[in-house]
Chains A and B, each alone.
Chain A
């Protein structure tokens, strides 16, 4: 099984809402990632978890809060977002270790903030 699943596929939320994005993999990977992709742009790294610990936070605003409850799950909690946060949010996973291993991407959650 080389699949990374993400739910929901689409999400529309107001600026005062609280919502969560979910990501799951069953490949035994110990590194998981969140990327943000705006239209016609490349993905931009947001967070990296390695062995369930946050190892990289690319200066992401605190209205985005990641969580890694176990080695298979990765959440992204959203609160008080702005319209400019509308984007495709991609989750990825890989074996952990020195950037050596390819990342497997999920299909993404398309988020619209109104």
Chain B
């Protein structure tokens, strides 16, 4: 079974500074990887996904992530954050084992943007 580790439960960053949110996955097979964002009192919104191909994935709102198979990582980055990026960020993995599977989420990282 796959699992996802987000080591940082909270990341404070000053506005306009760069940020990296870390995600490591554990799986013996190929996986699909996703980053979702959850704003307060809302559902989850997809930021980006990695299925195959180029290891650098660009998403919405200026976010990007790099898939690193040797390090089993999928870190999320943004070169310059804004106050509106304050939210909970979840890394998730799905197993391409056939059929429709649910997602396994990491514990989440709370991104706090300081003015």
Chain A residues with CB under 8 Å of chain B are 4, 30-31, 33, 35, 40-45, 48-50, 55-56, 58, 90, 92, 94, 96-100, 102-108
8 CB contacts below 8 A, A to B, read A35-B102, A40-B108, A42-B108, A43-B44, A50-B99, A50-B100, A108-B42, A108-B43
Residues A99 and B108 in contact, CB atoms below 8 Å apart: no
Q: Which residues of B contact A98 (CB under 8 A)?
A: 96-101
Q: Which residues of B contact A40 (CB under 8 A)?
A: 108
Q: Which residues of A contact B42 (CB under 8 A)?
A: 107-108
Residues A97 and B99 in contact, CB atoms below 8 Å apart: yes
Chain B residues with CB under 8 Å of chain A are 32, 34, 36, 42-46, 49, 51, 90, 94-108
Secondary structure dominating the interface of B: loop
Q: Which residues of A contact B49 (CB under 8 A)?
A: 102
Q: Which residues of A contact B45 (CB under 8 A)?
A: 105
